[in-house]
């Protein structure tokens, strides 16, 4: 049995759009909250690429989940086939032993038993 995959709990991210009209306001607000003022900037195209990258990651994770389910189903079926084969082998072994006992049953001519 395959172990379950950990669940991802995404952390909250606050996006602040800064432009020439609000830069002073945003800077003052962050400083009043005791937060550092720093820029991590993306162009419009970069922001679009970031969204596409996350979409690609999501698709890859979904593919991996499907592969894991396929492997799990394969191993379950393989284990069932092995268990069924062992059950059949034991049944045939018992039938062979019963047949052998019946053949050897005959008349016991040994007076010392």
Query: What band does 101 get if pLDDT is binned at 50, 70 and 90?
Result: confident
Average pLDDT over residues 89-108: 85
Can you give the residue ranges of every domain in the chain?
Answer: 23-104
Instruction: List the Cα angle 1/84/74 in 5-degree steps.
Output: 35
Instruction: List the Cα angle 13/15/16 in 5-degree steps.
Output: 145
- 6: which 2 tokens? 């950990």
pLDDT in tens, 16-44: 889 999 999 999 999 999 999 888 888 88
Using a 10 angstrom Cβ sphere, with 0-12 exposed, 13-18 middle and 19 or more buried, the burial of residue 89 is exposed
């Amino acid at each position: 049995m395959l172990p379950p995959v950990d669940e991802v709990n995404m952390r909250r991210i606050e996006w602040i759009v800064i432009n020439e009209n609000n830069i002073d306001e945003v800077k003052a607000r962050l400083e009043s909250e005791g937060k550092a003022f720093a820029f991590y900037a993306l162009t419009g195209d970069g922001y679009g690429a970031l969204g596409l990258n996350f979409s690609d990651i999501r698709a890859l994770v979904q593919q991996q989940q499907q592969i894991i389910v396929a492997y799990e189903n394969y191993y379950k079926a393989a284990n069932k086939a092995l268990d069924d084969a062992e059950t059949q082998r034991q049944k045939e072994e018992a039938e062979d032993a019963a047949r052998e006992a019946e053949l050897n049953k005959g008349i016991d001519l040994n007076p010392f038993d």
